[in-house]
Amino acid sequence: MPQLHDVDYTLEYPYTRTTGPVIGPFLTGLRDGRILGQRCGDRVLCPPMEFDPDTFATLEPDLVEVGPGGVVVNWTWVAEPSAKHPFDRPFGFAFIKLDGADTDLVHAVDTGGDPEAMNTGMRVRAQFRDERHGSVADVYFVPEGDAADQVIQPGEEPVTITEHLIGLRINEPLYPHRARFAQGLLDGKIIGQRSPVTGKVYVPGRGYDNMSRVLMSEADEVEVSDVGTVVAFTELNPVQYYGQTETEPYVRCSILFDGTDQPVIGIDIRDMTVDEMRVGMRMRCIWRDPDERSVEDIDNRYGNIPETVYARFEPTGEPDIPADELKEHSW
Amino acid sequence: MAPRPCAVLGIGQTKYKRRRDDVTLDGLVREATLRALEDAGATFDDIDAIVIGKAPDALEGVMMPLLSLADALGAIGKPIHRVHTAGSVGASTAISAVNLVESGMYDTVLTIAYEKQSEGNATWALSGGKSGGQGAGGTFAPWIRNYIARSQAPEHIGWMVAVKDRLNALKNEYAHLHLPDISVEKVRESPMLWDPLHFLESCPSSDGAAAMVLGNDDIAKKSGRPPAWVISHAKRTEFGQFPGRDTVRPQAGVECSEALYRKAGITNPREQIDCAELYVPFSWYEPMWLEGHLIAEEGEGWKMTDAGDTELGGSFPVNMSGGVLSSNPIGASGMIRCLEAANQVRGTAGEYQVPGAKISIGHAYGGAAQYYAMWMVSSELNPEL
């Protein structure tokens, strides 16, 4: 089996959160060096909530300052902090009942990396970071005796929206059938899988025939023609989202390669306009030179025949296939 | 054992908007939920179970949001279920809640669906976070062109739907888009996004939530609220790609409507159903679903649109509320179709009420037009057809 690249990419997006009438003032308070709780009957909730946690009745915003001191009610130790943690040295996560609050705030306690300094019942005190953004990470806690007095300059506009780069790293080997398909492209070949039940040829193969519910293996693989018929196309005006690198409109099409039963979707066409495209048009793949081909963009979920393996697709000049005959392949 | 009869007893919607910057996600779902409870004359204490749905988690980047929203929905000590069928999820969620009542397992069920699209980017999410995403419109456009080629429909049909739904939306205070000066000319001259779809033939991106309180026949009697009886429902699925797939008229959609009509004894949907809320995110899907769901003969759906039959005053009104073309909080959009169908038969649709509507359907589809969920509601438990 060919040894190709592992899939390694990070799916991430800078999501936003609207903070609403209770969390907004809470985050604004943190930026301005104050911790606020929400009144709920004769109790004060910190962190504040928009509704009564017992009755679920909506609470009118009524915020009151709590802390900055409090008591550790319970805690756990983070011995090996990750990049997303608030400290680069070991620290505690603790339930902290702030002075004046009736509920516990879960937050980070910095003891200089010493777990022996953490105790249930210990007094802690809030410390605000020099750079504050209206985030729960604007504050952290230290043992009361280690706390420094701080003068905090309040910000200007209230916090109404926050941004969070949330991501998931995907790191896995290519599935064997994907690796063989990708290797085929590097060799200038389109590899499909022929169903042992129906004889239908799928490109790229999924490793199984979803219609007959049987596995397909290397033994079922066939090289198919690199000449085919356009069965669908669309012009894309790229939506400018995070990570989008496309800026200009272009054509994307599905091609049913000769001898196959399922079109390859998502083939990008850069040198023809949408007006030059027709369903039924015969096209051939003009490959890049072997040393210029790359399949890095193929992972286990996305990527069929990427532009990094072909120079272009060009019309063969043969007569079109009537659209009626392509009806069952029109995606 | 026959299923327990199930009725919609309360309906709640938020105002739909590009960005609901005045509320958190908790606040958004509570806004719809509290309105549904109030409409049903119920409180959280009356709810036995909760069924929640939304589109893929990547849209807001909140993983398994049912867990963090459980408190806000009063689910403590109660079962909460999450449903996930892409764009059809709102209707699938409502039907899953109906199942819980019909089974006799629970008397009163709260069902809710939402999307806060402004917190992320749907096209990014649908592209697996990669550059070069095709989006929903880019996927559907070639199928729409095939429909046009097959049916020989004139190009103005799409423009007409775009205008009709936006005019209906002017009567709906919750609708996102209020475009009083919409016209066929404006639609035609708006930028071409994915040939043949112009900008104004496409749905907006909305924040919003929708909720319903469902109860069995005993609860319906006690509540004294006008019931919308759920007299039939159906869900069907097919693969997104397979040789022989008809993307213009997907088999799962045909079979879903056949099952829906069969259960209710409907033999002539065009005559026996008074109005419909169909999932039409792009204008051409109105005629495509009229045909694909057997309301019109193949090739005849666009003629209903052309003749004005699907207008609010027409013989078969479609998307009286303004539809997905006027409000699209994706995960909620299917539930909105279901609850607007219920509004019609309860007589609570206000300015966009179809006079005397007795039987209505709500519909949604999702994925690559591969998931279908439909329900039929009536003002009567056993309506005369």
Chain A closest CA to B3's CA: distance in Å? 32
Rounded to two decimals, the pTM is: 0.95
Out of A160, A164, A261, the one facing B243 most closely (by C-beta) is A261
A288 and A241 co-located in one domain: yes
Q: Which of A214, A208, A240, A168 is nearest to A8 (CA)?
A: A168
Domain assignment present for residue A169? The answer is no
**pLDDT for the residue A237:** 86
Q: State the smallest CA–CA distance between residue A214 and chain B in angstroms.
A: 15
Measured between beta carbons, the chain A residues lying within 8 angstroms of B139 are 234
A 218-247 near B (Cβ less than 8 A) = 232-239, 241-246
Question: Do residues A192 and A232 both lie within one domain?
Answer: yes
* Domain end marker among A134, A159, A184: A159
Which of B185-221 are b and which e, b meaning 16 or more Cβ less than 10 Å from the residue's Cβ? ebbbebebbbebbbebbbbbbbbbbbbbbbbbbebbe
pLDDT in tens, A265-276: 999 999 999 999
* Helix pair B285-292, B251-264: axis angle to 10 deg: 60
Q: How far apart are the first and last CA of chain B?
A: 24
CA atoms of B16 and B169, how far apart (whole Å): 11
* Interface touch B118/A18, C-beta < 8 Å: yes
For the cut 80, the answer to whether the pLDDT of residue A54 exceeds it is: yes
Are the Cβ atoms of A17 and B24 closer than 8 angstroms? yes
Measure A145 CA to nearest chain B CA, in Å: 36
Mean pLDDT of A112-127: 97
Q: Report whether B49 contacts B81 (CB < 8 A).
A: yes
Tokens read off for B137: 């419109």
Asked if A235 lies within 8 A of B195 by C-beta distance, the reply is yes
Q: What is the pLDDT of residue B127?
A: 84
Structure-block tokens of residue A18:
């609207």
Q: Are residues A186 and A324 in the same domain?
A: yes
ipTM of the complex model: 0.92
Q: What's the CATH number of domain B6-122+206-223, 3.40.50.460, 1.20.120.1200, 1.20.1270.10, 3.40.47.10?
A: 3.40.47.10
If you write DSSP's letter for every residue of B273-313 in order, what string do you get?
--EEE---SBTTHHHHHHHHTTSS-TTTHHHHHHTTTTSTT
Amino acid identity at B244: G
Expressed as residue numbers, the domain containing A187 is 174-329
Q: How far is A243 from chain B (nearest CA, A)?
A: 6
Provide, as residue numbers in chain B, all residues whose Cβ is less than 8 Å from the Cβ of A211: 239, 242-243
pLDDT tens across the length of chain B (385 residues): 789 999 999 999 999 999 999 999 999 999 999 999 999 999 999 999 999 999 999 999 999 999 999 999 999 999 999 999 999 999 999 999 999 999 999 999 999 999 999 999 998 888 888 888 888 898 999 999 999 999 999 999 999 999 999 999 999 999 999 999 999 999 999 999 999 999 999 999 999 999 999 999 999 999 989 999 999 999 999 999 898 899 999 999 999 999 999 999 999 999 999 999 999 999 999 999 999 999 999 999 999 999 999 999 999 999 999 999 999 999 999 999 999 999 999 999 999 999 999 999 999 999 999 999 999 999 999 999 8
CB contact set of A159 (below 8 Å; sequence gap of 6+): A19, A24, A27, A28, A31, A134
* CA pair distance A323, B146, nearest whole angstrom: 9
Q: What is the pLDDT of residue A297?
A: 86
- Nearest chain A residue to B192 by CA distance is A237
Residue A191 lies in a domain: yes
Which residue reads 């549904």 in tokens?
A: B36
Q: Is the pLDDT of residue A209 over 50?
A: yes
Residue A162 buriedness (CB in 10 A; 0-12 / 13-18 / 19+)? middle
A179 and A318 fall within a common domain: yes
DSSP string of B210-249, one letter each residue: EEEEEEEHHHHHHH-SPPEEEEEEEEEE--SS-TT--SSS
Q: What is the pLDDT of residues A38-50, one digit of tens each?
A: 999 999 999 999 9
Reduce the secondary structure of chain A to three states and give it as a string: CCCCCEEEEEEEEEEEEECHHHHHHHHHHHHCCCEEEEEECCEEECCCCCECCCCCCECCCCEEEECCEEEEEEEEEECCCCCCCCCCCCEEEEEEEECCCCCEEEEEECCCCCHHHCCCCCEEEEEECCCCCCCHHHEEEEEHHHCCCCCCCCCCCCCCEEEEEEEEEEEEECCHHHHHHHHHHHCCCEEEEECCCCCCEECCCCCEECCCCEECCHHHEEEECCEEEEEEEEEECCCCCCCCCCCCCEEEEEEEECCCCCCEEEEEECCCCHHHCCCCCEEEEEECCHHHCCCCCCCCCCCCCCCCCEEEEEECCCCCCCHHHHHHHCC
Q: Span A303-315, mean pLDDT?
A: 95
Residue B134's pLDDT is what?
Answer: 84
When pLDDT is cut at 50, 70 and 90, the band that residue A3 belongs to is: low
Higher pLDDT, B304 or A11: B304
Whether A180 and A153 share a structural domain: no
Q: Is A278 part of the contact surface with chain B (CB cutoff 8 Å)? A: no
Task: Give the CA angle between residues B164, B166, B168 to the nearest 5°.
Answer: 70
Coil, helix or strand for B127?
A: coil
Flag whether A167 is in a domain. no
Nearest CB to B132 within list A15, A232, A246 = A246
Q: What is the DSSP letter of B5?
A: P
Average pLDDT score over chain A = 95
The pLDDT of residue A1? 45
Q: Given a cut of 80, is residue A284 above it in pLDDT? A: yes
User: For chain B, which residues make up each domain, given as ranges?
Assistant: 6-122+206-223
Asked whether residue A15 is assigned to any structural domain, the reply reads no
**Predicted pLDDT at A239:** 86
Count of the separate structural domains present in chain A: 2
